[in-house]
Chains A and B, each alone.
Chain A
Amino acid sequence: MVAEGALAAGCRFFAGYPITPASEIYEVMMRELPARGGLALSAPDEISSLCYCVGASLRGLKAMTATSGPGWALMVETVQYALMTEMPVVIAMVQRLGPSTGGATQGAQGDIWLTEYSVSGGYSLPVFSPSNAAECFDLTVHAFNWSERLRTPVVLLSDKEVGMTTEVVDEAGLVTPEIVDRISYADNQPFVPYGFERTEQVPVFAPVGGEAKVTATGSAHDQQGRLLKNSPEVLEVLAHLQQKIDAHAQEMALVRTDLDPGATSLLISYGITARAARQAVCMLRGQGVRISFLQPLTLFPVPEHAIKLALEGVQTVLVAEENLNGQYRAVLAPLLEGRQVVGINKVGGLISPGEIINRVRGMEA
């Protein structure tokens, strides 16, 4: 469904390298993209995969690759390059158990920090996190839309259990979000490769090979793309790379909420664990327990506003995720100050609804 979402979003270029559990996306794209007039190619490694995608994006095509933790490790250099050159690209990152080659066929949600904190200087990567096949479709389209609109790399962060589970999808329930394309340079305007008036603005795009002369560079540059050291304009361009993301954080925030206004507990979960959490909430309510639930579909930028709203009247926040250190819980910590915060964590297997229920009921005792 990630591949289907990419095709629906207008993806025309895919380069991939085999890695469990992301190979399904690669295989589907190799089969489907050429049949629909696009180009799909096997790269000799993950570094090349992403470089090819960014090259295709420079030429004006919507591009995607898919990988897992070990492949991401190789791609980080080019993720940064895409961010610095403001080239849209989507990376479908299907998590598996780490560190290193870890467990290829074991699911995990241990790469939240690895993904978000990959960029030197601490720049934000938008990250979307689907929990099932339908959300894979929907969020892949959103990932492309935001990548194009903000001209920045965007990550679709799933895991083995989401990526390699075959499931029934109600096609009638799939609504394709409106497709967004990057804003292209108009012939009669002077073209400034990294031009903006306000730092949160996104520069207009012109493809290499087009009429407007393109200057792209991964080195610190001014709006014209000239390499300069520490000029005020270079520093402004650097600030702009973050501010264009921050300015759209609220618009990018997608959450699924199921709030009980009378509840004093809020369960937060995302990705594969959100499925167990939804089931647990349903069962807990059947047992008479009052609890609210929030699933961030956008992990980054953190959907602060929606979380603050959900926190009203809440004394205890439980964050369920399949890692040992509570990676997203740590990200949320500043928002949760003053409340009791409980992590529900595990690796090596899915967190079950029963395990969540036990923790919630344990809090009551």
Chain B
Amino acid sequence: MAEGTYLAPDAKLPYCRGCGHASVVRHLSCALERLQLPTRSIVLTTDIGCVGLADSLFPYLHTVHTTHGRSTAFATGIALADSLSQPGGLKPIVLIGDGGAMIGLLHLVHAAQLNVDVTVLLHNNFFFGMTGGQHSALTPLGLVTATTPTGNWIPPLDILSMLRAAHAGFLARQFATDEDLDATIAEAIAYPGFALIEVLELCTAYGTRWNQLTGKALKEIATSQGHKLGRLEAAPERPGFREVYRRQIESFPKKQAATEVQHSAPAWHLPHELRLVVAGSAGERVQSAASLFCQAALAAGLYATQKSDNPVTQGTGFSLAEVCLSSQPIEYTGMEQPDAVIIASLDGWHELQANGTFVRCRPETLWVVDAELPDPPTAGRVRRLPLRKAATPKQAALAGVAAWLAGESILPGTIWQAALLRLPQERREAAGEAVRIGQQLAGPSDGESG
């Protein structure tokens, strides 16, 4: 690409006289010339504020003018997507100000963590220039701004130190007036991961009007804040996102074909929908028991739905599974009046009390309750079985479902086989044992306990 084709040669820079932004765009253009990158391999992603006026200055680059602070996030999305393309190599360059850097702070942090191939030029002039000279999170102490009339009293953020903690590989802090700024920018763009240069500038509209700010003072401010200048010690050499993701994909388990469900033939017929609630404790395989039962029903040619409920915490308290079976596609999945309720633990017992199931249930509802639990205060039929003792607490729910099914003779005990076969070997044995125990607990009933 010929010299001068990046920044339009006749470009009228729309910045205030003396504004550092003008210097940055000139250095950016020089950096691109140094690198001789094809114009179409660059996406200028600009933020809101005076920095966002740069789009039209680079007529041959792709430009994406974004929302406030989000420029880095859009650039990251572009870079992520580009990592899927071959050969890729698209270079998003973000132009953002000190205001945008703070509102979009987590986008910078995450881009650094991901190490996406994004270069950020942070124009830090300490002010929101476009909106009238308000202070930002990067404004040095003592500076007079439109919103700190007696001087800024909130210590400024050292964004480079913060990004170093996020494993950024390329970090530098320079002045807009530095002659070698274009060299640093070129180095940052060439770097195959996340790179950020904080460019310290003067805002001539507000900074120099309200404060004794000069180029020299700028240097003193940076030093007095303890903010290091120049190229910061880079994080240990990290591979870029594209490479890491490719390795990640290679380590992905190869897709296995879904296990075929063996249907028992002919399909079993239910005269009406069957609604079952299984109540127990989190971590005691309540959902697994319900799921296995649904698989069994599916193998028997039935439609099934399963819903779960738990407290806000996932690992403690109750766990509730609601299952509906039907010979027809199931529409309504509510569970106001279940046909059967299995209670495998005290947590489940309390939840059914709290949600009103005890009161709502019909007299025909069958309750299979662990023998150690209090009697459910309900009008329904109650069977008390030593589920936890006989089948262990972890298998009590499954044993309860198996016992209920065996006792009711709605479906044959053989339907469990197909579902058990789908389980991984290490779980199959214990689950099969729980089903067998449940069927035994139910006692002989019309020879259906097979």
On A, residues with C-beta under 8 Å from B are: 12-13, 15, 34-39, 41, 43-45, 47-48, 51-61, 63, 77-78, 81, 85, 104-105, 161, 164-168, 170, 208-211, 213-219, 225-227, 275-276, 278-279, 349-350, 352-353
Asked if B440 CB lies within 8 Å of chain A CBs, one says no
Q: Which residues of B contact A52 (CB under 8 A)?
A: 73, 76-77, 80
Given contacts A43-B110, A165-B306, A208-B90, contact A55 B252 (CB under 8 A): no
Which 10 residue pairs across A and B have the least CB separation, nearest first?
A55-B77, A51-B73, A59-B81, A56-B81, A52-B77, A217-B65, A279-B331, A275-B331, A209-B90, A167-B305
The chain A residue with its CB closest to the CB of B254 is: A35
**A166/B85 in contact, CB under 8 A:** no
Q: Which residues of B contact A214 (CB under 8 A)?
A: 43, 62-64
Q: Which residues of A contact B333 (CB under 8 A)?
A: 161, 165, 167, 275, 350
Asked if B441 CB lies within 8 Å of chain A CBs, one says no
**A104/B312 in contact, CB under 8 A:** yes
Residues 83-126 of B, flagged 1 when their CB comes within 8 A of A and 0 if not, give 11100001000000000000000110110000000000000000
Question: Smallest Cβ distance from B105 to chain A, in angstroms?
Answer: 10
Residues 43-56 of B, flagged 1 when their CB comes within 8 A of A and 0 if not, give 10000000000011
Q: Which residues of B contact A165 (CB under 8 A)?
A: 305-307, 333
Tell me the complex Cα distance, A58–B73, Å: 12
Give 11 CB contacts A-B under 8 Å: A35-B252, A39-B245, A52-B77, A81-B67, A104-B312, A105-B312, A166-B291, A166-B307, A168-B298, A214-B62, A218-B66
Tell me the complex Cα distance, A12–B80, Å: 11
The chain B residue with its CB closest to the CB of A215 is: B63
Tell me the complex Cα distance, A15–B111, Å: 14
Query: Interface size bucket, B side?
Result: 35 or more
The chain A residue with its CB closest to the CB of B326 is: A168
Question: Besides the contacts A165-B307, A214-B64, A352-B336, what 10 more A-B pairs have beta carbons closer than 8 Å?
Answer: A35-B254, A38-B84, A48-B110, A78-B70, A168-B298, A209-B78, A211-B40, A217-B65, A218-B67, A353-B332
Q: Which residues of A contact B245 (CB under 8 A)?
A: 39
Question: Smallest Cβ distance from A44 to chain B, in angstroms?
Answer: 5
Q: Which residues of B contact A218 (CB under 8 A)?
A: 65-67
Asked if B150 CB lies within 8 Å of chain A CBs, one says no
Question: Smallest Cβ distance from B233 to chain A, in angstroms?
Answer: 25
Contact of B80 among A35, A56, A226, A276 (CB under 8 A): A56
Asked if B303 CB lies within 8 Å of chain A CBs, one says yes
Tell me the complex Cα distance, A353–B324, Å: 15
**B110/A58 in contact, CB under 8 A:** no
Given contacts A161-B307, A168-B298, A209-B82, contact A352 B332 (CB under 8 A): yes
Tell me the complex Cα distance, A279–B56, Å: 59
Asked if B310 CB lies within 8 Å of chain A CBs, one says yes
Contact of A44 among B41, B65, B109, B305 (CB under 8 A): B109
Tell me the complex Cα distance, A208–B93, Å: 12
**B308/A164 in contact, CB under 8 A:** yes
Q: Which residues of B contact A349 (CB under 8 A)?
A: 334
**B63/A216 in contact, CB under 8 A:** yes
Given contacts A208-B62, A276-B332, contact A217 B305 (CB under 8 A): no
